[in-house]
Amino acid sequence: MVQLEILVPNVIPNSGYEVVSKCSVSQHDLSDSARQFGRDRMSLLTSHFEDMEVTSCLIDWHCQRVLQLKMACKKATMSMQVPQKLVQRVCVWFSMRIHHPAVETVRLIQDVFGANSYSERSIYRWHKDFQSGRTKLGDLFRKGGPKLAQNATMVASCRRKVERNRRVSIHQLSASLGLSYGSVHSILHKDLKMSKKKGKLVPHVLNAVQRQQRMTFARDFLRTYRDHPEEQKWIITCDESYFHVYEPYSKMENRQWLTKDMNRPQQASIERSTAKVIFLPFFDKTGLLHAEFVQNTTVTSLVFRDILSRMRTSLRVRRGAAAWRMRHRYCLHMDNASTHRSIPVRQALEDMHLQKMRHPPYSPDLSPCDFFLFPLMKKKMQGIEYRTIENMKQAVLDTLATVTQQQWTYCFDQWIARCEKCLLFEGRYFEGMKFGLDG
């Protein structure tokens, strides 16, 4: 058994290949006349490749059979630390040196390497390059070639720049890193798993005291009404909101399904109408108790006091005398508007023997009117022009009548779920947020 060792130090610049490939050929497979090939062929190989060192004790190969690659390579055992493309290029060089035509070289390479062989075009190109005097097996450096961007260094550098400035654009990152736009885009989306998202608008930037107030409200509410569901029937909640004669579609709701060959529909910028009224509903878990419209004025403390007195009458009529005798158990929930905290309103609640549930500041996400009733009604009324205020008022009442008993019950169930989320997020706003993520 004789050994052929090929040392390939740094065949391709910056590739890290510094390995040894060993090819063993049995003595029995060699021709008797191979000694006349001898060391002169190996010295020829060494003299033509500056980046290869070839050592051998004996190559028993006949000059006419040395390039019978099919026999030789099938008997070889290769450690595949050296890429196969380098092995095939060596074989192409040998074929060229003994004046084999390119067609014969293609046949031999494809027979030996099978599906892993070079394409015919590549073999012809390498055969022609070696005939032209090329002595390098590695790929030549091409000026202006793409940089290797997806490496650990570039990814770490991109991460640091993004963490310093979350609003930085891909063009700015491309200029600072010296990479193409596509490379930076690939690093951000594939390697760093990042995407650029708009900031979510919130009613207020909560401080520590306000977050604690929200948590206190949620904790007390859950302790009273989640653990004792029968107490929920005593809650009456109310709020006020503007309803316009014409409410345009929002940007999200105005989207349409179109094919790729269709242009986006053009739409004029239409604002909501100036004609509007204030709508005040009062409801509990079983349904609507009282509703009023306020027009051509604002809801002052005196106006709201009069509304409360009329709500008391509606409560007595709708719930019956037995429920009215238990009115001291009713708890009226309102937000922290100055009207609701005024002295006349507090005095009216005392006269009616109604309790007032405190509400945390800047917390519309914990108010049933704001997170359930008003969005539900306005969504149904969007895009419809009612022309007159009276038509709009009737549409509001008709829409309110479509709310089912299951939806009223669902509203109070969601109220409990939102209080649980408020505690989970430690008093922060939680709509559209995922628990356990930064931000």
For 402-431, the pLDDT digits (tens) are: 999 999 999 999 999 999 999 999 999 988
Q: What distance in Å separates the CA atoms of residue 51 and residue 12, rounded to the nearest whole number?
A: 10
Cβ contacts of residue 191 below 8 Å, gap of 6+?
A: 150, 155, 158
What end-to-end distance do the CA atoms of the chain give, in Å? 69
pLDDT class of 322 with cuts at 50, 70, 90? confident
DSSP string for 76-87: ----TTS-HHHH
Q: What distance in Å separates the CA atoms of residue 107 and residue 93, rounded to the nearest whole number?
A: 15
The per-residue pLDDT for range 291-303, each reduced to its tens digit, is 999 988 889 999 9
pLDDT class of 5 with cuts at 50, 70, 90? very low
Of residues 136, 47, 62, 134, the one with CA closest to residue 98:
62
Q: Is the pLDDT of residue 218 over 90?
A: yes
Helix (H) or strand (E) holding 357: strand 355-357
* 8 A C-beta contact, residue 331 and residue 357: yes
Which residue's entry shows tokens 């005196």? 302
The per-residue pLDDT for range 173-211, each reduced to its tens digit, is 999 988 889 889 999 998 899 988 887 788 888 999 999
Q: What is the pTM of this model?
A: 0.60
Please provide the average confidence, as pLDDT, over all residues in the chain.
78
Amino acid code (one letter) for 59: I
Tokens of residue 284, six digits: 């509990």
Q: What distance in Å separates the CA atoms of residue 235 and residue 411, rounded to the nearest whole number?
A: 12
DSSP string for 232-268: GGGEEEE--EEEESB-PPPTTTT-----TTSPPPP--
